[in-house]
Amino acid sequence: MNARHPVDAVRDSLAAPALYEQVAERLRTRIYAHELAPGAWIDEQGLADEFGISRTPLREALKVLAAEGLVVLKPRRGCYVAALAERDLDEIFPILALLEGRVAEEATRRLAGLEAGVGRLASADFSRLEEIHADLERHAAAHDIDRFFATNQQFHSALQELAGNRWLSQLIDDTRKFLKLTRRDSLRLDGRLKQSLAEHRAILAAMKKQDAAAAALHMHNHILSGRAALAKLLVQP
Amino acid sequence: MNARHPVDAVRDSLAAPALYEQVAERLRTRIYAHELAPGAWIDEQGLADEFGISRTPLREALKVLAAEGLVVLKPRRGCYVAALAERDLDEIFPILALLEGRVAEEATRRLAGLEAGVGRLASADFSRLEEIHADLERHAAAHDIDRFFATNQQFHSALQELAGNRWLSQLIDDTRKFLKLTRRDSLRLDGRLKQSLAEHRAILAAMKKQDAAAAALHMHNHILSGRAALAKLLVQP
DNA sequence: CTGAATAATACTGTATCCATAATTATGAAT
DNA sequence: ATTCATAATTATGGATACAGTATTATTCAG
């Protein structure tokens, strides 16, 4: 029962994640929800008591979050939730635009079957993307911003899968994490929903025409457009 | 990493790094040197004894390295050094090309003073880059590959500083870390030194002409060219 | 001699404990 | 009353101890 069965892979995925990982996840949730606000000090003992665990796994979790950049560890002075400045947003969004643009480009190329090595994608994969977009249109019509937000994430994730570049996806996810630190949400801005949809349509149209460069450009602009909307939110929240 | 008071930075830099950080650094060194080879199991107790410390800080260091991607933590089964597949290289290099291309672009724009917000760079900053390149030329002429390698890193670092985008730099550094896992070094390939120099010259020339797009393109090709060289090394090392 | 079942071992994950550095509170002196 | 020095408190960093699980070794049956 201990030889290398294929079942092992399953068991690994089913195995309960280590405590420090669960704790890290709970902390991430709290940070994103601003229950632990940016800049706030993190009380190790307090949280450990609250979670009903010892400080050891909690500290390991904090090390992980620190490596991710969600918290900063000041030697001998404790742990603080990271805080983003406006300048950080100005630096992050263009990078995200670059990366997501690249995703759109690679996804389109794979759809067109131009990519060397990796196989050509079935048109069913693209249909899936169109379905998600259809959902988006529905949520927008219903002014259901929360569902729109969730589905929007799905859209970008699905596109990342189409691109099939794990490293690229990783970088994007890493980068997006920081944006979650600012809980401002450009989607609530008047007209932003409609604008966002139009941008998505442009991306999809370019992909359908198998114009990778255009898809990249539209995605690039889409992300920057999100930044611009966020900036408006700053002066009038 | 964000908007800290200058005083904090000083105090932080003077404070001795926590033990787990020192350990993480030592482990990185060993991993890069392949003393801990890709795929190898990491013996916590053994290393702790060797370093003369307990398992606690060592484990914290491993958590950090895991978050960085240098090692993988298998629950209940220990820690293993990460191993890159050829496919990973194929995915990483284009991303690096994208990011470093962007660095060249932003640096050039700042030199040209076209960037909004951030100040125009002095020509002295560009001279510094040219000096480093001159060093490179010398090391190449002397066939001193080790110094060339080190100075080459300086070149790219200096360029990143000119671009002045901390997040972009961070992503690049994070990405380059993985490449150090494969100890193959394209610079040792016949003719690669000369080729690399020529590519650098093209980048510098574009920057001097304040042609940001061209600078980006040349840098992009420079990185991909490095990948191509590496590929040759695979069949004949 | 081979393979399975079981016992022994080793390692991971977590909790507890201790030492040291940092912060706050207290008190004296100007 | 304010400021500086010193003491008390608290939190962090690290070591050690222990429990639970995976791996390896051993034994026994076929």
Assign domain A7-81 one CATH number from 3.40.1190.20, 3.30.70.270, 1.20.1260.10, 1.10.10.10.
Answer: 1.10.10.10
Span CA (A75) to C1' (D5), Å: 26
Judge whether A4 is closer than 8 Å to chain B, CB to CB. no
Task: Report the chain A residue with the minimal C-alpha distance to residue B75.
Answer: A18
Assess whether the region A7-81 and the region A86-235 belong to the same CATH fold: no
Judge whether A169 is closer than 8 Å to chain B, CB to CB. no
A67–B166 C-beta distance less than 8 A: no
Span CA (B96) to C1' (D14), Å: 39
Selected residues 93-152 of chain A with any CB under 8 Å from a CB in chain B: 95, 98-99, 102, 117
Q: How many CA atoms lie within 13 A of B235 on its CB side?
A: 4
pLDDT tens, N- to C-terminus, chain B (237 residues):
333 333 333 334 455 678 999 999 999 999 999 999 999 999 999 999 999 999 999 999 999 999 999 999 999 999 999 999 999 999 999 999 999 999 999 999 999 876 655 556 777 889 999 999 999 999 999 999 999 999 999 999 999 999 999 999 999 999 999 999 998 788 889 899 999 999 999 999 999 999 999 999 999 999 999 999 999 987 665
Task: Report the chain A residue with the minimal C-alpha distance to residue B3.
Answer: A85
Span CA (B19) to C1' (D13), Å: 8
Span CA (B79) to C1' (D7), Å: 46
**What are the C-alpha distances in Å from A213 to residues A141, A145, A206, B93?**
30, 30, 8, 19
Domain ranges of chain A: 7-81, 86-235
Span CA (A48) to C1' (D22), Å: 28
From chain B, pick out residues whose CB is under 8 angstroms from the CB of A88.
Answer: 2-3, 167
Distant-in-sequence, close-in-space partners of B231: CB < 8 Å, separation ≥ 6:
none
Distance from the Cα of B172 to chain A's closest Cα (Å) equals: 10
List strands edge to edge, sheet with B78-81: B41-42, B78-81, B71-74
Looking at domain B86-235, which CATH architecture does it have?
Up-down Bundle (1.20)
Fold type of domain B6-81: Arc Repressor Mutant, subunit A (1.10.10)
Task: Return chain B residues 11..40 having CB < 7 Å to nucleic acid strand C.
Answer: 15
From chain A, pick out residues whose CB is under 8 angstroms from the CB of B92.
Answer: 167
Q: Which two tokens stand for residue B22?
A: 């020192």
What is the three-class DSSP state of A23? helix
Q: Identify the pLDDT of residue A13.
A: 44
Q: How many CA atoms lie within 13 A of A91 on its CB side?
A: 20
Judge whether A10 is closer than 8 Å to chain B, CB to CB. no
Phi-psi label, residue B34: left if phi above 0, alpha if psi -120 to 50, beta otherwise: left
Task: Report the chain A residue with the minimal C-alpha distance to residue B84.
Answer: A167
Query: Angle at CA A156, nearest 5°, toward A154 and A160?
Result: 110
Cβ atoms of B106 and B115 within 8 Å: the answer is yes
What does the alpha-carbon distance between residue A61 and residue A57 come to, in Å, rounded to a whole number? 6
Whether A2 sits with its Cβ under 7 A from any strand D atom: the answer reads yes
Task: Report the chain A residue with the minimal C-alpha distance to residue B76.
Answer: A18
pLDDT tens, N- to C-terminus, chain A (237 residues):
333 333 333 334 455 678 899 999 999 999 999 999 999 999 999 999 999 999 999 999 999 999 999 999 999 999 999 999 999 999 999 999 999 999 999 999 999 876 655 556 777 889 999 999 999 999 999 999 999 999 999 999 999 999 999 999 999 999 999 999 998 788 889 899 999 999 999 999 999 999 999 999 999 999 999 999 999 987 665
Q: Which two tokens stand for residue B64?
A: 């950090």
Amino acid whose CA is nearest the C1' of C12: B76
Whether B60 sits with its Cβ under 7 A from any strand C atom: the answer reads no
A168–B1 C-beta distance less than 8 A: no
Whether B77 sits with its Cβ under 7 A from any strand D atom: the answer reads yes
From chain A, pick out residues whose CB is under 8 angstroms from the CB of B174.
Answer: 171, 174
Burial B126-138 (b: 16+ CB within 10 A, else e): beebeebbebbee
Q: To probe the interface with A, which of B54, B167, B217 has the most A CB atoms within 10 Å?
A: B167
Distant-in-sequence, close-in-space partners of B41: CB < 8 Å, separation ≥ 6:
B78, B79, B80
